[in-house]
Chain A
């Protein structure tokens, strides 16, 4: 360490701005910090943050976790039934989005989706019976995240539902997601009418087998190149999947055509996929989950490995903190609404899809998708600024996914919770808005932020873990 007086003075000024002006007026170099008390002014958490800053154990653990994250090679391998495929999936179990939550506390859309899943499985004859069954304690409700899976919005996955299988060609690990049902009335928004259940059955019985066959013929589908191309084409693969869905269809259509399907089945499958610009979303989520699971479980790492919402709470998990969730109340969303709806109709932030931001897509890659920022009345410049800002809370940049608007720099990824708390920069999330009542569906889209409180809790837990008390 060079002695202070032997090197030329460079000052970082935290506090009274006049001191920085004095330094520069005297010919010195000074950078003013736009300071606010870290950790929402919680002094103890602020000291924990200071203790964890520059901790070599964390830096090494993060380097390992981040390398594992970058090293994942996601391949879309096929389709399976959730009950047969998901690790630990029980026979009478329904998975949901976000951190753990019991039936009575679930938000409207999630309860609706659970009712729908019960009816879909044939465990009840009508909605009232389904609600009674859900409330009876006979069924197990667990987070998708506890079963290597992710689901958008309510994220309801029951044993009969088909799931995408995304496999890591590097490690053989797998991650899963359900199949996107399209916009409008859908189970993920809590709708469980006959048309919703019929569509789910069609997906199970017709579309999923066809997709499975096509993927078999393709021998799997490498996802990194597809997503990289989609980013260049204006997607951030969370709230905008137009390009990725088209690219996926381009890969699948010829294989489907060779799958010897009955003509009407083939036509329906192609029409369904062509009509859904978010068809790729669930695959995007699964590949993010796969890469983040690769980074999870590195002792001492402060890298965030999941961010997710159950409509009541926002929860995060951290690589070095095992299976614990760190939760805070889910935020309201700043967004635009479809005709006839407004902020009063909106559910709170919901869904596992913020796994995409955790992996550096969505709000973090907003520079790739300037269109998205208009959801909050922003400009393409705001989109770029958002991506630049996220760079300050991440461990690095993606070596696979580039952002053209940032001179093809990599997408910022690998959230370090210390950086979030230090700079009070909350991860930005692009998201859809569900109606707060079950079954009405998506009523808008917008931006939200991962609450700082989750990161502060996790920070204190990591301090306990590493520095004991």
Chain B
């Protein structure tokens, strides 16, 4: 059908508003073409060319012209009515919004919004993390690099850059830090106090700081270095810098170092620096002998728990006396003769490492995906053999899956599977609370704990479930409630990872003796 037109005399609208209005009515149902224009000669010519206008139009350049073509007269009239309404109502649609600054899209933009920022916390995918960290350093920021999968070469580059600028790089793969009471990454809510901690492992830091808090003492700062900092290539750059910072920090009276044993040359440098700090230093290099560690001002701790206890004593100005390892009171489950093995299912890498060390001191036939001490490597990480301890936070388990501190499904499945194994006597578990961890780990674990016991019962057995909770009373998950729920589910709760591991070993050994007798 031919086009219809409507003239609104002596009305001006700017061309952009009119183009917008034209686009709107041209989009109405049943409309093929539509245009609203000032009736200038040029516009009329355009409309004629577009086939929207024929013959002479009685309109002057100060008149508005609406014209539409469509499937039916009704549709076209409706379009022209809509055009008139649009002209009357003004062109703007929707409520007025105040102009606002968009969210910062880069570290630099964030620095404009928060000019006194002094730390970038980076948890992007690893392949981009080094670049973000380097930018942060070059903009004068200290860095905590939570991301993993950063190459060793990039780590060295970042730490050189930081050194040249007098900045600190925590990480890569630094899960935990606490600076002046502010938790960064996965950290527990610990009270502030005189103990400063530097650690190559996140869960190691969490264990020491939580136990310090539980002892009623507090933490000045806890600084993560990342797991490779003490390798020869990196040379302990971050730990050295962190020791200097804690040495200079007025709020820190005792320093704790937590790590696997460093490369020999690195250990010498680190311990020399610690010794020169002028403050009492407790070094927990898991697996190293006291003789390798101790020197002026530096004392060795064999476990994370001992490191915390020694630091607490030092902070209180009391002598540390090594008690015999304390174990929780428990009534042992009735184990069948064939139940021999301990199976440890860990979400914390350092917990697995420390437990493997302790178990391999007293048990034979210990296996792990992160073997240490006398333990052997697991050929198939999905398949336990003998005494087995697995770090479920290891790369082979987390590929394409959330970390087991956040997502308990993988561990729950394995827990039930281990319990169904007639050779298993003890299942050893860590439960990590704090910021970043699951909001209610006990609730996540309860069905699997029940299913594990049921699986054992089906085989006519009982099974020992041994665990510990790493956390504090101020953690968002509520330490007391989590502990009570786990105890209720039959878990024998130790106060620390070391105690839990020793408890498991004790159960296994006692039962082995009983079975022999």
Residues of A within 8 A of B (CB): 1-16, 18-20, 22-23, 26-38, 41, 43, 46-47, 49-51, 53-55, 183-184, 336-341, 371-372, 374-375, 377, 379-381, 384-385, 388-389, 392, 405, 419, 422-425, 444-445
Given A35-B105, A379-B92, A422-B135: A26 touches B182 (CB 8 Å cut-off): yes
- Tell yes or no: B374 within 8 A of A by CB: no
Given A53-B134, A53-B139, A340-B50: A11 touches B117 (CB 8 Å cut-off): yes
In the bound complex, what is the Cα–Cα distance between A9 and B144 (angstroms)? 12
Specify which chain A residues have a CB less than 8 angstroms from the CB of B113 in the assembled complex: 31
- Tell yes or no: B443 within 8 A of A by CB: no
B285 CB → nearest A CB, Å: 24
11 pairs from A and B in contact (CB 8 Å cutoff): A3-B248, A4-B118, A9-B180, A28-B182, A34-B102, A50-B135, A54-B138, A184-B42, A336-B19, A338-B50, A340-B51
Residues of B within 8 A of A (CB): 14, 16-17, 19-20, 22-23, 33-35, 37, 42, 46-47, 49-52, 67, 91-92, 94, 96-114, 116-125, 127-128, 130-136, 138-142, 146-147, 165-168, 179-185, 187, 189, 221, 245-246, 248-249, 435-436
- A-B CB proximity, top 8 nearest: A340-B50, A15-B123, A339-B35, A54-B138, A50-B134, A10-B117, A384-B99, A28-B182
Closest A residue to B251 by CB, please name it: A5
B348 CB → nearest A CB, Å: 18
Closest B residue to A339 by CB, please name it: B35
Closest A residue to B246 by CB, please name it: A5
Specify which chain B residues have a CB less than 8 angstroms from the CB of A19 in the assembled complex: 121, 123, 146, 184-185, 436
In the bound complex, what is the Cα–Cα distance between A340 and B135 (angstroms)? 50
Asked if B221 and A5 sit within 8 Å, CB to CB, the answer is: yes
Asked if B98 and A381 sit within 8 Å, CB to CB, the answer is: yes
B260 CB → nearest A CB, Å: 25
Interface-central residue, A16, A424, A425, by most chain B CB under 10 Å: A16
B126 CB → nearest A CB, Å: 10
Chain B residues touching A, majority SS: mixed
Taking a contact as CB atoms closer than 8 A, the residue among A12, A34, A37, A49 that contacts B114 in the complex is A12
A387 CB → nearest B CB, Å: 9
Given A5-B221, A5-B246, A43-B131: A14 touches B100 (CB 8 Å cut-off): no
Asked if B114 and A54 sit within 8 Å, CB to CB, the answer is: no
Asked if B102 and A389 sit within 8 Å, CB to CB, the answer is: yes
In the bound complex, what is the Cα–Cα distance between A372 and B99 (angstroms)? 16
Asked if A22 and B119 sit within 8 Å, CB to CB, the answer is: no
Interface-central residue, B34, B139, B142, B168, by most chain A CB under 10 Å: B142
A36 CB → nearest B CB, Å: 7
Identify 17 new A-B residue pairs, CB closer than 8 A, beyond the known A4-B167, A32-B104.
Answer: A5-B180, A10-B116, A10-B118, A12-B107, A12-B111, A12-B141, A18-B436, A19-B123, A22-B436, A35-B106, A43-B127, A47-B134, A49-B131, A338-B35, A371-B17, A381-B99, A422-B135
Asked if B102 and A22 sit within 8 Å, CB to CB, the answer is: no
Asked if B180 and A12 sit within 8 Å, CB to CB, the answer is: no
A246 CB → nearest B CB, Å: 14
Asked if B105 and A36 sit within 8 Å, CB to CB, the answer is: yes
Asked if A423 and B105 sit within 8 Å, CB to CB, the answer is: yes
Asked if A50 and B138 sit within 8 Å, CB to CB, the answer is: yes
Specify which chain B residues have a CB less than 8 angstroms from the CB of A2 in the assembled complex: 118
Specify which chain A residues have a CB less than 8 angstroms from the CB of B109 in the assembled complex: 33, 392, 423
In the bound complex, what is the Cα–Cα distance between A37 and B249 (angstroms)? 36
Asked if B135 and A4 sit within 8 Å, CB to CB, the answer is: no
Specify which chain A residues have a CB less than 8 angstroms from the CB of B125 in the assembled complex: 37
Closest A residue to B112 by CB, please name it: A392
A89 CB → nearest B CB, Å: 33
Asked if B103 and A32 sit within 8 Å, CB to CB, the answer is: yes
Specify which chain A residues have a CB less than 8 angstroms from the CB of B46 in the assembled complex: 338-340
In the bound complex, what is the Cα–Cα distance between A38 and B47 (angstroms)? 46
Specify which chain B residues have a CB less than 8 angstroms from the CB of A29 in the assembled complex: 114, 116-117
A213 CB → nearest B CB, Å: 29
Given A19-B436, A339-B50, A379-B97: A27 touches B19 (CB 8 Å cut-off): no
Specify which chain B residues have a CB less than 8 angstroms from the CB of A38 in the assembled complex: 106, 128, 131
Given A4-B142, A38-B128: A388 touches B184 (CB 8 Å cut-off): no
Specify which chain A residues have a CB less than 8 angstroms from the CB of B221 in the assembled complex: 5
Taking a contact as CB atoms closer than 8 A, the residue among A1, A336, A423 that contacts B16 in the complex is A336
Specify which chain B residues have a CB less than 8 angstroms from the CB of A6 in the assembled complex: 248-249
In the bound complex, what is the Cα–Cα distance between A2 and B118 (angstroms)? 9
Closest B residue to A48 by CB, please name it: B131
In the bound complex, what is the Cα–Cα distance between A30 and B147 (angstroms)? 18
In the bound complex, what is the Cα–Cα distance between A46 and B124 (angstroms)? 13
Closest A residue to B102 by CB, please name it: A389
Asked if B100 and A385 sit within 8 Å, CB to CB, the answer is: yes
Given A43-B127, A184-B42, A339-B34: A11 touches B50 (CB 8 Å cut-off): no
In the bound complex, what is the Cα–Cα distance between A336 and B19 (angstroms)? 6
A39 CB → nearest B CB, Å: 9
Closest A residue to B138 by CB, please name it: A54
Specify which chain B residues have a CB less than 8 angstroms from the CB of A30 in the assembled complex: 121
Asked if A337 and B97 sit within 8 Å, CB to CB, the answer is: no
In the bound complex, what is the Cα–Cα distance between A34 and B103 (angstroms)? 6
Asked if A422 and B117 sit within 8 Å, CB to CB, the answer is: no
Interface-central residue, A30, A35, A392, A424, by most chain B CB under 10 Å: A35
B225 CB → nearest A CB, Å: 14
Specify which chain B residues have a CB less than 8 angstroms from the CB of A381 in the assembled complex: 96-99
Closest A residue to B94 by CB, please name it: A379
Given A7-B118, A12-B119, A23-B182: A338 touches B19 (CB 8 Å cut-off): yes
Asked if B118 and A388 sit within 8 Å, CB to CB, the answer is: no
In the bound complex, what is the Cα–Cα distance between A258 and B394 (angstroms)? 87
Specify which chain A residues have a CB less than 8 angstroms from the CB of B34 in the assembled complex: 339
A359 CB → nearest B CB, Å: 23
In the bound complex, what is the Cα–Cα distance between A9 and B148 (angstroms)? 23
Given A54-B139, A374-B20: A423 touches B106 (CB 8 Å cut-off): yes
B377 CB → nearest A CB, Å: 32
Closest B residue to A338 by CB, please name it: B46
Specify which chain A residues have a CB less than 8 angstroms from the CB of B52 in the assembled complex: 339-340
Closest A residue to B189 by CB, please name it: A26
Interface-central residue, B133, B166, B435, by most chain A CB under 10 Å: B435
Closest B residue to A369 by CB, please name it: B16
Asked if A14 and B131 sit within 8 Å, CB to CB, the answer is: no
Closest B residue to A23 by CB, please name it: B182
In the bound complex, what is the Cα–Cα distance between A33 and B106 (angstroms)? 6
A401 CB → nearest B CB, Å: 19
Specify which chain B residues have a CB less than 8 angstroms from the CB of A445 in the assembled complex: 16, 19
Interface-central residue, B49, B123, B140, by most chain A CB under 10 Å: B123
In the bound complex, what is the Cα–Cα distance between A183 and B46 (angstroms)? 11
Asked if B120 and A14 sit within 8 Å, CB to CB, the answer is: yes
In the bound complex, what is the Cα–Cα distance between A49 and B106 (angstroms)? 12
Given A22-B436, A43-B127: A12 touches B105 (CB 8 Å cut-off): no
Closest B residue to A234 by CB, please name it: B14
In the bound complex, what is the Cα–Cα distance between A9 and B181 (angstroms)? 10
In the bound complex, what is the Cα–Cα distance between A28 and B119 (angstroms)? 12
A469 CB → nearest B CB, Å: 15
Asked if A183 and B179 sit within 8 Å, CB to CB, the answer is: no
Asked if B131 and A4 sit within 8 Å, CB to CB, the answer is: no
Specify which chain B residues have a CB less than 8 angstroms from the CB of A8 in the assembled complex: 116, 180
In the bound complex, what is the Cα–Cα distance between A380 and B114 (angstroms)? 28
Closest A residue to B178 by CB, please name it: A26
Closest A residue to B130 by CB, please name it: A47
Specify which chain B residues have a CB less than 8 angstroms from the CB of A33 in the assembled complex: 103-107, 109-110
Asked if B117 and A5 sit within 8 Å, CB to CB, the answer is: no
Asked if B168 and A31 sit within 8 Å, CB to CB, the answer is: no
Specify which chain A residues have a CB less than 8 angstroms from the CB of B181 in the assembled complex: 26-27
